[in-house]
C-alpha cells in the first residue's frame, strides 16, 4: 500500500488519498431533462409506449414471399418461389405459379406470367394467365395474350391482343 509521497524506483509518487466515505459530486442533471413530446423519441407513440415496427397486416399474405421491383430498377430473368410480385420499375421475366401480380403506375412487365390475381396499373407486354381476377385500372395497358377467370377494366384501361376466358 502506498501513501502520499512514497519513493518508488527513483520517482516520488504522490496521490490524493481521500477518505472512502467521501464521494465526488456527479452531474446527474441529464436525468431531469426530458423530451418535449414522446413523438420526438424514436419508436415511441404519443402515449410514450414503445411501438413495434413491422409490416402492415395484409390478411393471409402477411407471411407471403413478396418481391418488389422499385422505380428505376430493371430486373431480368425467371422468378420462382414468389407469392407476390410488385413491379414499380421494369421487369423482363417469366413468373410462374405466383399468387398475385401488381404492376404499379409507371411500372412495366415484359414476358409471361401465370398468377391467381393481377392488378395492372402500368404496362404489361406478353402472355398473362390469371386464374381468378384480373383488374386493369384506368392507367393500365395490357398488350399480348390474356387468359383470365374474371375481368374488370376501369374506364381508360386498355387490353390489346388475344383475350380468352379461363376454362
Between residues 155 and 31, the one the model is more confident about: 155
Q: Where are the domains of the chain?
A: 59-165
| Mean pLDDT of the region 41-56 | 52
Q: If pLDDT is split at 50, 70 and 90, which confidence band does 21 have? A: low
Average pLDDT of the residues of the chain: 79
How many Cα atoms occupy the beta-carbon half-sphere of 139 within 13 Å? 9
pLDDT at 46 over 70: no
**Burial label, 102 (beta-carbon count in 10 A; 0-12, 13-18, 19+):** buried
Lowest mean pLDDT among 21-30, 74-83, 84-93, 119-128: 21-30
In the DSSP assignment, the letter for residue 161 is E
pLDDT at 137 over 90: yes
pLDDT value at position 81? 85
**Burial label, 45 (beta-carbon count in 10 A; 0-12, 13-18, 19+):** exposed
Q: If pLDDT is split at 50, 70 and 90, which confidence band does 38 have? A: very low
Instruction: Quick: pLDDT tens for 61-116.
Output: 445 789 999 999 999 999 988 999 999 999 999 999 899 999 999 999 999 999 99
Residue 130 sits at the vertex; the CA angle it makes with 142 and 76, to the nearest 5 degrees, is 65
Amino acid at each position: 500500500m502506498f501513501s502520499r509521497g512514497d519513493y518508488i524506483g527513483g520517482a516520488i509518487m504522490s496521490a490524493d488519498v481521500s477518505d472512502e466515505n467521501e464521494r465526488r459530486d456527479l452531474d446527474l442533471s441529464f436525468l431531469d431533462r426530458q423530451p418535449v413530446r414522446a413523438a420526438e423519441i424514436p419508436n415511441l407513440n404519443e402515449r410514450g409506449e414503445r411501438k413495434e415496427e413491422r409490416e402492415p397486416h395484409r390478411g393471409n399474405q402477411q407471411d407471403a414471399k413478396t418481391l418488389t421491383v422499385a422505380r428505376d430498377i430493371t430486373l431480368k430473368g425467371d422468378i420462382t418461389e414468389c407469392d407476390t410480385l410488385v413491379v414499380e420499375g421494369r421487369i423482363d421475366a417469366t413468373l410462374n405459379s405466383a399468387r398475385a401480380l401488381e404492376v404499379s403506375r409507371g411500372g412495366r412487365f415484359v414476358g409471361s406470367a401465370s398468377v391467381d390475381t393481377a392488378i395492372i396499373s402500368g404496362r404489361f407486354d406478353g402472355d398473362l394467365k390469371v386464374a381468378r381476377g384480373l383488374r386493369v385500372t384506368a392507367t393500365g395497358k395490357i398488350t399480348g395474350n390474356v387468359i383470365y377467370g374474371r375481368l374488370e377494366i376501369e374506364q381508360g384501361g386498355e387490353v390489346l391482343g388475344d383475350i380468352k376466358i379461363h376454362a
